[in-house]
Amino acid sequence: MSNAKLVAVVEDEAAIRDNYLAGLRRHGYRVVGFASRKEALAGFANRFPDLVIIDVNLGTEVEGGFELCRELRAQSAQLPIIFLTARESELDAVSGLRLGADDYLTKRTSIEHLLARVAALFRRVEALRAGDAAGERLEQGSLMLDRDRMSVQWKGTTVPLTVTEFWVVHALAQHPGHVRSREQLMTAANVVLDDGTVTSQIKRIRAKFVGVDAKFDAIQTVYGMGYRWQAD
């Protein structure tokens, strides 16, 4: 069990939190639960988890989960984050993913489906770290992706991508000039998103690259079809 992944659940309702913790524990994960954003941040200062499941509405903080996601992303670009909430609006999903979450599920989701999404995220992290020798590093012009270190550089400067964003860029850059549909990008990132949310992910990725290079334009939109990576 010492090598078991540590999953944190940040949920203000004790019964719901305990149900998630019990399900995760049954599947071999080490678990820790927190009722608020402040509790979580204090706990993470002692031991950073391998994955975090966050409720958006945390007690008196209506959007405390979004704020916690921002704070965690400032500490780690690669930490897998799942939002699990009673809210079901598309706006909430887009907001969560724009902040850097890797997945977004509603509380109507079964515990079995949640566990499947947790396992899928861990597989993606392991895939990044365990790429075969020939595929550990991908270089396309000014872009360098290192799967072993889970890092992305553009013109020698690190671009802080999340796990989901990494896979989207990887899928595009693997075949420069080839159009990748939204469905193909979702498959590569192992997430299920609507078209609008995929668009939001692309906007977020572009913004991060522009943050290190104001002239970045390698990700091109092919209207009605998808996106392509244009090598420089």
Q: Per the domain annotation, does 21 fall within a domain?
A: yes
Q: Nearest 5 degrees, angle CA 177-CA 178-CA 179? A: 120
Yes or no: say if 82 and 101 are a contact pair by the CB < 8 Å rule: yes
What tens digit of pLDDT does each residue of 10-42 get? 999 999 999 999 999 999 999 999 999 999 999
**Nearest C-alpha neighbor of 136 from the set 96, 170, 98:** 170
Residue 98 is predicted with a pLDDT of 60
Residue 96 is predicted with a pLDDT of 59
What tens digit of pLDDT does each residue of 200-226 get? 788 889 999 999 999 999 999 999 899
Residue 151 is predicted with a pLDDT of 81
Q: Model confidence at 170, in pLDDT bands (50, 70, 90)?
A: confident
Residue 133 is predicted with a pLDDT of 42
Asked if residue 95 and residue 21 are part of one domain, the reply reads yes
The CATH number of residue 202's host domain is 1.10.10.10
Our count of domains for the chain comes to 2
| DSSP secondary structure letter of residue 5 | P
